[in-house]
Amino acid sequence: MSESKQHTIVTGGAGFLGSHLCERLLKEGHRVTCLDNLLTGSTDNIAHLIGNEDFQFYKFDVTNYIYIEGKVDNILHFASPASPIDYLEHPIHTLKVGSMGTHKALGLAKEKGARFLIASTSEVYGDPLVHPQKEEYWGNVNPVGPRGVYDEAKRFAEAITMAYHRAHGIDTKIVRIFNTYGPRMRVKDGRALPNFISQAICGEDVTVYGDGTQTRSFCFVTDLVDGIHRLLNSDLHEPVNIGNPNEVTIGEVAEEVIRMVGSKSRIVHRPLPADDPKVRQPDIEKAREKLGWEPRVSREEGLKKTIEYFRRRLKE
């Protein structure tokens, strides 16, 4: 490993987003250390990076004290369950990785004088009363509902990140990630697009929760990673929305997936889960103005690549 290269730690680096970030950072000339306890991540996601002399993987739970030898230039904290089925199954660990894990990662940033970027989420806005959602909106979150374990963990993570910036002068960044999709999502991820695609490919009924009129805004993973990379290299410290502002109903997306797969699946409706947001659309003016970023991959192009990936995985 070259000591002249930037050394970047990615927690949760074997997950869907984390693995794409590791890949991008290696292409940008970084040395990358990936930490992941594999609760929801998989070494399959980083198998193609093993053997690269600038990449190291350690199975590690970041709610424990993190020791890294030598210099560290950047820490990207992406460790956390992110799908409702995961954080409902692992509620306490979700709270711990958002609180204790963020605290430990920030402690390492303080020790090493490293830049720190936290993966936050549009879920900090809860079931929003403001539409579209701007970074200045404080949110409408039920702290004691079943989804609160994820929402409040991320809200705490943002708060402690800003506290370390103000109290210790750490160069911190906060990215609020809106719905993202693409290759390396798990077949049984539990979120809308993986569910729709896997069900349609298998010819099963496609499950839509509620009446399908609730909206989401889907961003392809390479667009998201580009936005995060720009944010890492910016002088911004306040939260920044990164997502695709092209809003669509869940029912429309289900029909789109069935059409693109060429499936005979039919749509069936199930009750809407508690506190499920009725609308979700990012206001990305800050990202456009400050980072020169906006999404470039159309939903049709992104879905085509994602469907191809799911076809391969379902054959394994």
Range of the domain at 256: 192-214+247-280+300-315
In-domain check, residue 146: yes
What is the four-CA torsion angle of 1, 48, 305, 176, rounded to 10 degrees?
Answer: -50
Same domain, 18 and 128: yes
Q: How many domains does the chain have?
A: 2
* Candidates 65, 67, 137, 150; catalytic one: 150
Tokens representing 52 are 């690269």
Q: pLDDT tens across 141-156, in order?
A: 999 999 999 999 999 9
CATH number of the domain residue 113 falls in: 3.40.50.720
Same domain, 133 and 18: yes
Give the pLDDT of residue 2: 57
User: For the chain, which ranges sit under pLDDT 50?
Assistant: none
Q: pLDDT tens across 86-121, in order?
A: 999 999 999 999 999 999 999 999 999 999 999 999
Report how far residue 163's alpha carbon sits from residue 167's, in angstroms, rounded to the nearest whole number. 6
87 is catalytic: no
In-domain check, residue 187: no
Provide the residue type at 88 as one letter.
L
Nearest to 74 by CA among 4, 2, 10: 10
Phi first, then psi: what are they for 98, rounded to 5°? -75, -30
Helices (H), the chain: 16-27, 84-89, 91-96, 102-112, 148-168, 192-201, 221-232, 250-261, 285-286, 299-315
Same domain, 288 and 149: yes
Same domain, 67 and 145: yes
Same domain, 91 and 205: no
Give the pLDDT of residue 249: 97
pTM: 0.96
In-domain check, residue 186: no
